[in-house]
Amino acid sequence: MYLLLNKAKMKKSIYLSLFTLSTMFFIASCKHDDDTATPASTSTTYAAGEVTLEFDNIAGTTHLDVSGATNYTNGAGETFTVTKFKYYVSNVSLIKEDGSMYDVPDQVFLIDEADSNSISAVLENIPGGKYKGVEYTIGVDSARNVAGSQQGALDAANGMYWGWSSGFIFLKLEGVCPAAGGDFMYHIGGYKNSNNTNAQRRVHIDFDPSTLIVDGNKRETEVHMLVDVLEFFKNPINYSIVSNGTVMSPGGQAMTLASNYVDMFSFDHIHNDVK
Amino acid sequence: MSKNLYFCLTIVFAFAFLSSCKKSDDETTETPKPLFYVPDGFPAPSGQLQNNPVTTAGFTLGRKLFYDPVLSKDSTVHCGTCHQQFGAFAQVDHKVSHGINNLLGTRNSPTLINLAWHSEFFWDGGSNHIEVQPIGPITNPVEMDETLNGVIAKLNRSTFYPAMFRSAYGSDTITSQGILRALSQFMSCLISANSKYDQVRNGQTTFTATEDSGYTIFKSKCASCHKEPLLTDLSYRNNGLDAHFTDPGRARITTLAADSGKFKVPTLRNIVLSYPYMHDGRLSSISKVIDHYRSTIVQSSTIDPLLSSGNMSISDAEKAQLIAFLNTLTDQTFITDKRFSEQ
């Protein structure tokens, strides 16, 4: 025990001397900078901070109602209501003013219209600076699809996981369409490229003409996007619920609907005022 | 001084003696194997335990969950219902699995043997990780028809599960990951490697003449798919049961027409215990399975290349020898190991 304590003490003193040394170096290099560079007072530096992506789920021009009480009409002229709308957003990258990307590490978000807390995705520790856009994946990348049981947004208990054919359900849209005889269910997923069943889609959002400045907590940093459920049923394919009201496996119809869902997402506005 | 030296020497000798005693104990008596180990001559495991190392507490929790009907919607069916230890963790004499409310599945319960060497599960390989495999039967409407949140809620009401989770993971909080990882620890420890076949491989005993002839036939006619020592090559193959496939098999997962009618090659370990056979349990005995390979192979577009030349030539005498060999794959240690039984 005494030996251990001694070791700890020794470690402490080593750390202390290392710290002193590096501090000296740091001071020395600072001094050197001061000699040659322009005075710090005129350059603009931004501190790292959070960015909030808010997903405002809509149907056409109105806020999406997932209680099943509001009728909507799709491109095929079919009337339907919505009872569930959930999807994964992952692998977010912020696009800097110079076009380079900042990849946000290790954050996956499950957006669920029925859970108001979930529609704001908070990106942590974003480097300070100016950003002109954002990219993200609808779905979950293949590495996370083969990684066994997980927690948080990727907890299989969230109901966004297939037990019979392992992998995440990237997007769930459920509701009622009387013309189709009742309930419809779209569970879209699939992560494999080998047999062309990869339903991951990359969304690109321009903040144009706005620019988002991240500067610690000096400014609001909220990006609002619109997510239009009606676009799920059109562009590029006009989709009929009556013809196909149930899609619950990767490949085939899921690939058609994945092509449709990528353009549900559009830029609305940002809040970037100085607080 | 010399007294001290003698004392020291005595202690050294005593240690040497004790340790040599211990060694000979190990060699002569059957000490229980550790919960998870790699048997001699086995390849490296799949690596899916990498983030979930087996512990006694995790294994014990997994076993408790495996045998607890609370995993099913109406608390009537547990994993062990369709995976019985005496049947090498298959369901003996049931063509297809029986779920809650007497609902029938579509496939024969597979054995649970040496699963740590598998990286895909189910007859069609639909599950890509041992940790997520249990989600299949737990949520299947004709098996347990429960949700993970439903299971968590029931376990939270129990008087003992929170403490078992604390022992296994250091926290009372019951999570789906904790449930799934415990189940996969238990399943990974279901290791069968002490059949007569294994003992012969390890030089502990020898085959009878008949068994040995059977082994020769096995190596020439069966071992390319039922690859040693796991006795499966873990691939998906169409073994010529049908011309048209009511169950698409592997194609259900891959969506590829070329995979229609293909199913995972089952291990032959403990095979005589786990009747009936095939993905739908259509063949009731080993004798009928061998008869299939020697007389009823059906050609189709996805027939396995190794069977595309038609029926195998196996005489009645050879069939008897083959069956004698297949009987050497039964591992009594495995099916009677109390650690794997409901406690």
pLDDT 10s digits, A121-172: 999 999 999 999 999 999 999 999 999 999 999 999 999 999 999 999 999 9
Give yes or no for residue A2 having a pLDDT over 70.
Answer: no
Task: Give domain B56-192's CATH architecture.
Answer: Orthogonal Bundle (1.10)
The token duo for B251 is: 């194609």
Report, as an integer, the average pLDDT of B89-107. 92
- B212 alpha-carbon distance from chain centroid: 25
Q: Do A155 and B256 touch (CB under 8 A)?
A: no
A194 pLDDT tier (thresholds 50, 70, 90)? confident
Q: What is the pLDDT of residue A179?
A: 97
Q: Is B177 on the interface with A (CB under 8 A)?
A: yes
Mutate to test the interface with B, among A142, A144, A149 (most CBs of B within 10 A): A149
Q: What is the structure's pLDDT at A43? A: 55
Q: Residue A54 and residue B119: Cα distance in Å, rounded?
A: 38
Q: What is the pLDDT of residues A8-34, one digit of tens each?
A: 444 444 454 444 444 444 444 443 443
Q: What is the DSSP secondary-structure string of B111-172?
A: P--SGGG-SSBSTT--B--TTTTTHHHHH-TTTT---HHHHHHHHHTSSSHHHHHHHHHSSS
| pLDDT tens-place string over residues A56-78 | 999 999 999 999 999 999 999 99
Nearest to A166 among B126, B137, B181 (CB): B126
Tell me the percentage of chain B whose pLDDT exceeds 70: 91
User: How many beta carbons lie within 10 A of that of residue B259, not counting itself?
Assistant: 22
A149 touches B: beta carbon within 8 Å: yes
pLDDT in tens, A204-262: 999 999 999 999 999 999 999 999 999 999 999 999 999 999 999 999 999 999 999 99
- Report pLDDT digits (tens) over B134-165: 999 999 999 999 999 999 999 999 999 999 99
- Whether the pLDDT of residue A41 is over 60: the answer is no
- Among A32-41, A131-140, B20-29, B37-46, where is mean pLDDT lowest? A32-41
DSSP B282-298: -B-SHHHHHHHHHH-PP
Pick from B51, B53, B22: nearest CA to B37: B53
Interface predicted TM-score of the whole assembly (ipTM), two decimals: 0.87
Residues B128, A145: C-beta atoms closer than 8 Å: yes
Cα separation, B119 vs B166, in Å, equals 28
Distance (Å) from the alpha carbon of A244 to chain B's nearest alpha carbon: 18
Q: What are phi and psi of B275, to 5 degrees?
A: -65, 155
CB A176 within 8 A of CB A89: no
Q: Do B281 and B94 meet the contact criterion of CB atoms below 8 Å apart?
A: yes
A169 vs A184: CA distance, rounded Å: 16
Strand ranges, E, within chain A? 49-59, 62-63, 72-73, 79-96, 101-103, 108-112, 120-126, 129-138, 161-162, 167-177, 182-189, 201-206, 212-214, 222-228, 246-247, 265-271
**Helix, strand, coil abundance in chain A, percent, nearest 5:** 25, 40, 35
Domain limits, chain B: 56-192, 196-333
Across residues A253-274, what is the average pLDDT? 97
Q: Which two tokens stand for residue B140?
A: 């299947």
Chain B residues closer than 8 Å to A166 by CB: 126-129, 132
pLDDT at A3: 41
For B135, which of A151, A156, A192 is closest by C-beta distance?
Answer: A156
Assign B8 a pLDDT band (cuts: 50, 70, 90). very low
Chain B, window 228-287: residues with a beta carbon less than 8 angstroms from a chain A beta carbon: 252-256
Q: Does domain B196-333 have CATH number 1.10.760.10?
A: yes
Confidence of residue B33 (pLDDT cuts 50, 70, 90): confident
**Using CA atoms, how far apart are residues B154 and B169, in angstroms rounded to an integer?**
19
Three-point CA angle B25, B30, B32, nearest 5°? 110
Residue A261 parent element (H or E): helix A253-261
Nearest-CA neighbor of A193 among A145, A144, A148, A142? A142
For B250-267, write each residue's pLDDT tens digit. Answer: 999 999 999 999 999 999
Q: Check CB contact under 8 Å for A163 and B147.
A: no
Q: Is the pLDDT of residue B21 over 80?
A: no
Task: Return the half-sphere exposure (C-beta side, CA atoms, 13 A cut-off) of residue B203.
Answer: 2
pLDDT at A18: 46
DSSP H/E element including B198: helix B196-201
What number of C-beta contacts closer than 8 Å exist between A and B?
75
> Does B27 score more than 60 pLDDT?
no
Predicted confidence band at B29 (pLDDT cuts at 50, 70, 90)? Answer: low
